[in-house]
Structure 1
Amino acid sequence: MKYWLLTTEFPPFYGGGISTYNFYTAKMLTQKGHQVSVFVNDQTVKDIVVSYSGGARIIRFNPVSTNSTAFLGHTTSLSYEFAHIIRKFVEREGKPDVIEAQEYLGIAYYLLQYKYLKYDWCKDIFMLITMHSPAYLYLEYNHVPLFQYPNYWIGEMERFCIQAADIVISPSQYLIDEVRKRAEFSHTNFYVIPNPFEFQIDTQTLEAPAIQEEIVFFGKLSAQKGTFRLLHYFKELWDNGFADSLFLIGGQDIVYHPEGNTMGNIVRKNYKEYVDKGLLRLESQLKPADIINRLARAKIAIVPSTVDNLPYVVMEMMSLGIVVLVSKQGGQSEVVTDSVDGFVFDHDQAGSFSSQLYKILRLNSKQRAAISANAVKRIANAYNLNTIYERKIIVVKAMLERDISKKDFPFIKLSAHQGKRVTVSSKGSLSVVIPYFNMGQYIDETVESLLNSSLHPAEIIIVNDGSTVYESIVKLQQYRSDSRFRVIDITNQGLANARNTGAESAKGEYLAFLDADDKVAPTYYEKAVKVLKEYSNVQFVGAWTQYFEGSNKVWPTFSPEPPLILFHNLVNSSALVYKRSAFLAAGKNDRNMPFQGLEDYESVISLSSKGFSGVVIPETLFYYRVRKNSMIRGVSKVKKQILIDYICSKHRDFYATFATDIYSLVSANGSGTKLDNPSKDLQLNSNIPFNNQLAKELLSFIKRNKHLKHIAYRAYNILNKYSL
């Protein structure tokens, strides 16, 4: 089997849970004779570097080949780069049997988008998503603003990956339950298969056993890992005479956002009294080679996470025979059988922690030895590579036998897309409507792009909205005499009326609007109609937009799902391709809006409110001319706000359904009238007091540098403080 793994972490640069998982999974599959390739982003390589580890091919790539960081936020750009490196290798080597990716940061988002949009190079590849640490769940427990961009959008990408996967594997049932509380999923293909583990001890470097006397927490300090809860428990114990010290061993540089400071600094400040007394001891992160010898002095290892998947630290501690005390709030409690091979406490039960801690401390040497032996045996038998492989291969083989061609498009917000379905003929034709008002100098370019389309429109309808300029009136004569075109003359009533008139007179099953100064790429309509034919639950399709003439920027649009489409426009709504019956039923432009300018945006909201759903092709297939005197430039901030008020009032029931989310989005990001890209980190660069583009480039560099990241967040909080 040709098996590809996508990950943001792989040794030797990373030693966390995701890195460890991928290392053991690659080793496990390679040992069983599978051809394993691991794709990992790496800023330190120039382009692509290939190496081998235990028979697995490791492909490190610098995620800058598409220049997507020019128009996408860092994390979203990373997903886009993953899709394109996979495409490059598929075209070079052929398709793999399976691609597995982490859900964390949504790195498979664009790959899955291309798959469901039926791109030939990936449409029939089986996709497996393994859940590790979804940011939208972990950020919640780390008290990071979930609705602030780009955090919310990263969560949307992660949710889509889980929704769109052919199967989802989670190392714990706990994580599946937590994820399902926060999102609906259209499939039930969730499987619990623990992470593989193989702990090898180098006896040559192992020091003589020390007396086990320390209570340790081993791991990164964070709210999600239970640091604050654990210190609260120990403060109560110490204040009541408890004499044992607590050792916090691990990374201390994670930023705790509510305080704008690193966890290490916060702990030292808030618990200075206990640090000074030697009751609380903080030690820096250990090198992998030093872990075993350092932890040999531990008599208890505590894993107090407030939410967690299946932390490798539990397996590592148990395999060393260290008695563990773990919280119920995570997959770690699925590894431990209470009072048999470890101990479990419950954060939600008062006194549970101290009760279990004292229970461990009262163990005699025989009882401790028995629990240690049981722990070693449990890890060795249940989590070794052979055992996990046998469980995983059954699920993977069953997946490969399924027909994955007959599916709905996997929308993120399932409940918002349970509405209308429109089935169209496989031979349906396309009508293109060109609203026209004094655009004689541009229309030839527009028409030329249509005539160069790989899918030729069955009809091109030019709706002359009462043009008044002589040259523009004369220009229409050449199209009136050409049988490929139909010109409809109406009195000037505005763009909304012109679009509706063209749609009502069109005969095709598919419908597209094209303003008389814009253009389309040759393959746009072919790709859009292909999607519309494929899915009865998709009624309109958009694409990324390339500006030209007055700008060279790219607008990377996004599928218009609530609540985001209600917060701000995600899609170039003047460039969509529709199932015409859906547009006529729910998308006709509102002629009664107080001003022109947002009719097409309101149309998308109207369609969505009635269950007609749309998707976006992540490719620049539409070209928007930026003119100084264009209609949209005449929409002032005041007019735009009035139009938004009108839209909200008209669709008040739809907005009410998502009112809580919309309120949180506005609170976190400000007015949606200023936004069109949820992937960007607007909070940081907007607070840096120099050139905006330079700020973006600087922040992009900082985010990629772990040593500078915490400095950046501290600077951000200082700037915020003084800007109020």
Structure 2
Amino acid sequence: MNTFSVVIPVHNKEAYILKTLESVLSQSYANFEVILVNDGSSDKSGEICDQYKLKDARIRVFHQKNGGVSSARNSGIRLAKNEHIAFLDADDYWDVSFLEEMNILINTYPHNSIYGAKFARVKNGIALDEENYFPEKDNYYNFNLINNFFQKSRFPLHTSSVVIKKAVTYVVGGFDERIYVFEDYDLFLRIAIISNVGYLNKGPFSFYNIDVPVSSKVRGKLPLLAKHWISFMSKFDKDALKNTKLKILLDQMKLNQMVAYRRSGAYKKEVKNILKTVDKKNFGWKYKIIFSLPIFIGDLFLSIYSLLSNYKVKLNNQNK
């Protein structure tokens, strides 16, 4: 029987943490512990955590000075007593069957080190339709994340939909505490270099709350580039030399993220230097157009492209 340590980093989430915790405590699969890491909250989040600790013996609470979400998650990993770490952000929540389904997935692919489940973004309290990453014919998939990104150009993973084996953090390390944006992708990719991903292709069973105001997010509207994953991608250089698909993945992420930084006008030199690290073959027609046009025309092109892409998703969902 698989055991889980549910790691929840908490920073000023008093408006959301109750729903998050209730979604965990109502799980149909009960073989888990909960580790709440209060990362220097200035609201009542820490008090709420302590109150819930008294309600359920499976809950442990750790209070620390504010060190960021990566620091809080790493603290939770270190404190975890169980083999599998299930991450859940303090403003997201799970379906009642999330851990039960992940337990089945782990038993299906026991040799993997990372597992993910289909998730849905929640806007205005409503779960949005998402484009399927895999065909619906199968409930479980075992895949190479790097190869599939080459085909799909996106990750099917979100922190609150992922379970990893604690042991893999001894091999690849934990979350990089220098990174505040896409710190989860950084860890997932390091694991994916050495392990396939087991994927639960039904549900969704995890819900990503995008109703959270920007003011309560660490990253803000446009986070400091120095804190972005893009600024620390050189750690993958050696692996990228041996794996062209990994190089494409990294370059595509750089191009995608540089659009907003270029638009801001505040990072001209940094954007130019980062674009120099992208292989010219990996730009593709979309980014060649965007970065060759004046910013306002490039933004117009991107808006039209996004509208057409969203329309395609809705059309596909209607034709299911």
In structure 1, the partner of 2:189 is: 605
Report the number of matched residues. Answer: 263
Distance 1:660 1:597 in 2: 22
Structure-2 change in CA distance of 1:499 and 1:557 (3 Å): farther
Q: Is the 8 A contact 2:182 2:228 kept in 1?
A: no
In structure 2, the partner of 1:509 is: 83
Cα distance, 1:580 vs structure 2: 2.0
Q: Give every structure 1 segment of 4 or more consecutive aligned residues whose post-TM-superposition deviation is greater than 6 Å.
A: none
1:527 paired residue among 82, 101, 120? 101
Distance 1:480 1:666 in 2: 44
1:494 aligns with 2:77: no
Q: Is the partner of 2:159 in helix, strand or coil?
A: coil
Distance 1:688 1:517 in 2: 29
In structure 2, the partner of 1:472 is: 45
Query: Could you tell me the TM-score, scaled by structure 1's length?
Result: 0.33
Cα distance, 1:660 vs structure 2: 6.3
Cα distance, 1:570 vs structure 2: 3.7
1:652 paired residue among 237, 258, 279? 237
Q: Is the 8 A contact 1:510 1:529 kept in 2?
A: no
1:83-107 alpha-carbon deviations (Å, 9 max, x no partner): xxxxxxxxxxxxxxxxxxxxxxxxx
- Name the aligned partner's letter for residue 458 of structure 1: F
In structure 1, the partner of 2:311 is: 696
1:106-125 to 2 correspondences below 5 Å:
none
1:585 aligns with 2:149: no
1:368-413 alpha-carbon deviations (Å, 9 max, x no partner): xxxxxxxxxxxxxxxxxxxxxxxxxxxxxxxxxxxxxxxxxxxxxx
1:145-174 alpha-carbon deviations (Å, 9 max, x no partner): xxxxxxxxxxxxxxxxxxxxxxxxxxxxxx
Cα distance, 1:612 vs structure 2: 2.5
Distance 1:587 1:574 in 2: 19
Cα distance, 1:563 vs structure 2: 4.2
Distance 2:4 2:223 in 1: 36
1:407-446 to 2 correspondences below 5 Å:
427-446=1-20
Structure-2 change in CA distance of 1:454 and 1:700 (3 Å): closer
Q: Is the 8 A contact 2:98 2:205 kept in 1?
A: yes
In structure 1, the partner of 2:209 is: 625
1:536 aligns with 2:110: yes
Cα distance, 1:520 vs structure 2: 0.7
Cα distance, 1:636 vs structure 2: 2.1
RMSD over aligned Cα, in angstroms? 3.7
1:409-454 alpha-carbon deviations (Å, 9 max, x no partner): xxxxxxxxxxxxxxxxxx2311111111111221111111112212
Query: Could you tell me the TM-score, scaled by structure 2's length?
Result: 0.69
In structure 1, the partner of 2:269 is: none
2:146 paired residue among 541, 556, 562? 562
Unaligned stretches of 5+ in structure 2? 135-142, 260-285, 288-300
Distance 1:652 1:690 in 2: 31
Structure-2 change in CA distance of 1:639 and 1:524 (3 Å): same
Cα distance, 1:666 vs structure 2: 5.8
Larger relative contact order (CA 8 Å, sep ≥ 6): 2
Question: Looking at CA atoms only, which structure, 1 or 2, has the larger radius of gyration?
Answer: 1
Distance 1:690 1:591 in 2: 35
1:119-160 alpha-carbon deviations (Å, 9 max, x no partner): xxxxxxxxxxxxxxxxxxxxxxxxxxxxxxxxxxxxxxxxxx
Q: Is the 8 A contact 2:181 2:223 kept in 1?
A: no
Distance 2:170 2:251 in 1: 32
- Name the aligned partner's letter for residue 244 of structure 2: A
Distance 2:313 2:20 in 1: 39
More helix by share: 2
Cα distance, 1:615 vs structure 2: 2.5
Structure-2 change in CA distance of 1:656 and 1:442 (3 Å): same
Structure-2 change in CA distance of 1:671 and 1:564 (3 Å): farther
Q: Is the partner of 1:460 in helix, strand or coil?
A: strand
Q: Is the partner of 1:528 in helix, strand or coil?
A: helix
Q: Is the partner of 2:29 in helix, strand or coil?
A: coil
1:634 paired residue among 220, 232, 247? 220
Cα distance, 1:688 vs structure 2: 9.4
Structure-2 change in CA distance of 1:564 and 1:475 (3 Å): same
1:249-260 to 2 correspondences below 5 Å:
none
Distance 1:635 1:527 in 2: 35
Percent identity, please. Answer: 24
Structure-2 change in CA distance of 1:587 and 1:546 (3 Å): farther
Distance 1:664 1:433 in 2: 28
